[in-house]
Homo-oligomer: A and B are copies of this chain.
């Protein structure tokens, strides 16, 4: 199925609009996206935008979906840069890529993980699976490491709280992932830890406190990955 010329132009215009929206969010905060401001910067009038997005909310939703996919793409690509059987470096690389992406796209990160637009609420049926796609990358590495017998998490990471384990079992059953609750637990623990550091850094609370945020982040994820029993290849 070939795209016609006019379809292609339409697509390009959509991308251009989203790009300008991202730029303006970066400058003035996620909450201040506006059709008129975008149109102005593009040298258009506001109603012209309606050729490409039926409303402002649709534009924002498109930005959010893009953000999720961008992040997941970045993680997947990062994973492929390491030898398949070097689980320690695969996980480290992916966790580093997560932060790198967040710092490079602070606005998209806030759009994904915050709630910055006043009247807007992203529908969970879009939001939740998109979040999941991101850390499937993390969990896959853990699963493969465990199957290869290369991960030996210390016991305090394997005792999943019973109520949490229930939820995990439900999720696993519903989605049919070939993983154990323990793996989910490890992955989500990674996730919450990096999330805290990144959020604080994005809002300028970590920098004044630790100075070298790179080093702080690396040390923490290294500790976490090692606690999960992964080791650098010797």
Interface residues of A (CB under 8 A from B): 28-29, 31-32, 110, 113-119, 124, 127-128, 131-132, 156-157, 159, 161-164, 166-168, 170-171, 188-189, 191-197, 199-200, 203-206, 208-212, 215-216, 218-220, 223, 226
On chain B, the residues within 8 Å of A189 by CB distance are 220
Inter-subunit contact B116/A31 (CB<8 Å): yes
Looking at A124, A127, A220, the one whose CB has the most chain B CB atoms below 10 A away is A220
Partner of A193, one of B114, B168, B196: B196
Q: How many copies does the complex hold?
A: 2
List 4 other contacts, CB 8 Å, given A110-B115, A192-B193, A199-B199: A28-B119, A31-B117, A156-B223, A192-B197
Inter-subunit contact A210/B131 (CB<8 Å): no
Inter-subunit contact A164/B220 (CB<8 Å): no
Inter-subunit contact A167/B211 (CB<8 Å): yes
Partner of A118, one of B29, B132, B162, B170: B29
Known: A193-B196, A195-B200. A163 touches B215 (CB 8 A): yes
6 contacts between A and B (CB under 8 A): A161-B215, A163-B212, A168-B210, A192-B196, A193-B193, A195-B196
On chain B, the residues within 8 Å of A171 by CB distance are 209
Inter-subunit contact A211/B164 (CB<8 Å): yes
On chain B, the residues within 8 Å of A197 by CB distance are 192, 196
List the 8 closest A-B pairs by CB distance, nearest first: A196-B196, A167-B211, A163-B212, A161-B215, A195-B196, A192-B196, A31-B31, A32-B118
